[in-house]
Structure 1
Amino acid sequence: MTAPRRMGTENSKTRHLLLDTVERLMVEEGYAAVGVRRVAREAGVAPALVLYYFRTLDDLFLATMRRRFEQEIQAQTTALESDRLMKTLWDHNSHPEGAVLNLEFIALANHRKTVRGEVAAHAERLRTLQKEAVERYLTERGIDSGTLSPLALTVLISTISRSLILEDTLGLTMGHAELQALIERHLQTPLDDGAVPEEG
């Protein structure tokens, strides 16, 4: 039995350069632009070096996703401590580059089974983290989670913000400014001021 081929170290500068290159290409041109030779050329290294760190293109995609997902979890964990949680969630989910990259990961998952499960698992992990934070946030303000569902709020914020960014990339911005103003107005009050919204 042959020994498995040695891979580059996790903290190698070259490895991070390759992952940075993949992220940039995905944001600028979409996941279809990513290939071993293209990544090597953009990073200024030989294709063999890319394959030294990543056996296959799927391995390269998976490593890029895992790094990005861990960064996102860490950023969210810190952000979810904010006392203006709703505004923080909206701002985080509305970050253009992050949202575009996540949309590319979703598109990639539709075509590559090896990454599909990881994308879904990460999304569920992140949604659970956000939902638990929203639940604590509402409880601290005396808002009944039966009246205002933490999970529904979490899904609403993430899906609307992503949809706006997706439309924006298509050049469709009609109504965006109005919706943004409406959302910003409601994110300022009443929840982030500690008030309970009136029913009816």
Structure 2
Amino acid sequence: MTAPRRTGTESSTTRAFLLDITERIMREEGYAGVSSRSVAKRAGVTPALIHYYFPTLDDLFLALFRRGAERNLERHERVLSSPQPLRELWELMTEPTRSALLTEFMALANHRKSIRDEIAEYSKRSRRQQTELLASGMAQYGPGLAEIPAPALIFLMGAVSRAFVAEDALGISDGHAEVRALVERLLAQAAPAEPAVEKP
């Protein structure tokens, strides 16, 4: 019977460093630029070390995605518990580096089933979390915005942020500034009223 292959521990600083390098390559070159050799070269190590921590390329991609997913879920909880959850969520969703990396993973998912299944599970979990947290804070907004279902707002913001990334990659920016200005105006108009301060 063949003994299980030994791999590096998840808490290893070397493992975290290799994930940082992989993320950097994905941001700069896209997922197609990631290989055990490219990561090893950028990190200044041998490909064998990459395989020690990540036996397959799918293992490397999954580890990077899971790390980012957990960080995003933590950030969602913080921003959606803030005094202005809609504005904070919009700024998070349209953060260029975050959106670009997620778009790369979604493109990668078309070619790797393990990645596709992981992204689908994360997306469902993330949307449930966002919906629950946002729904609990929507009452503070004025008529009109507060009447829009939280799932619809989350879907629209996510769709717009992905469209920004996809069109930016093609050099298309027509309408982007206008959409951002429109959203900013709506958020400003719908901002929760500051709590009244009682005069002494």
TM surpasses 0.5: yes
- Whole-Å Cα distance in 1 between the matches of residues 146 and 93 of structure 2? 25
Where do 5+ consecutive residues of structure 2 fail to align? 195-200
Moved more, 141-150 or 50-59: 141-150
Cα distance, 1:156 vs structure 2:
0.8
Match in the other structure for 1:69: 69
With the length of structure 1 as denominator, give the TM-score of the two structures: 0.91
SS of residue matched to 1:77: helix
User: Contact 1:85–1:192 at 8 Å: present in 2 too?
Assistant: no
User: Number of paired residues?
Assistant: 194
Alignment of 1:27 with 2:27, yes or no, is yes
- Whole-Å Cα distance in 1 between the matches of residues 189 and 144 of structure 2? 17
Alignment of 1:81 with 2:78, yes or no, is no
With the length of structure 2 as denominator, give the TM-score of the two structures: 0.91
Cα distance, 1:38 vs structure 2:
0.8
User: Contact 1:86–1:192 at 8 Å: present in 2 too?
Assistant: no
Name the CA shift for 1:181/1:142 in 2 (closer, same or farther; >3 Å).
closer
Match in the other structure for 1:14: 14
Match in the other structure for 2:182: 182
Q: Deviations over 1:58-80 (max 9, x none)?
A: 11111111111111111111111
User: Contact 1:31–1:108 at 8 Å: present in 2 too?
Assistant: yes
Alignment of 1:169 with 2:169, yes or no, is yes
User: Contact 2:80–2:88 at 8 Å: present in 1 too?
Assistant: yes
Cα distance, 1:147 vs structure 2:
3.8
User: Contact 2:26–2:104 at 8 Å: present in 1 too?
Assistant: yes
Moved more, 171-180 or 146-155: 146-155
- Whole-Å Cα distance in 1 between the matches of residues 84 and 145 of structure 2? 18
User: Contact 1:138–1:144 at 8 Å: present in 2 too?
Assistant: no
Cα distance, 1:91 vs structure 2:
0.2
Q: Which segments of structure 1 move beyond 2 Å, counting only runs of 4 or more?
A: 139-147, 191-194
Letter in 2 for 1:177: A
Where do 5+ consecutive residues of structure 1 fail to align? 195-200
Cα distance, 1:169 vs structure 2:
2.2
Q: Deviations over 1:9-65 (max 9, x none)?
A: 112111011111111111111101100111111111100000000111111111111
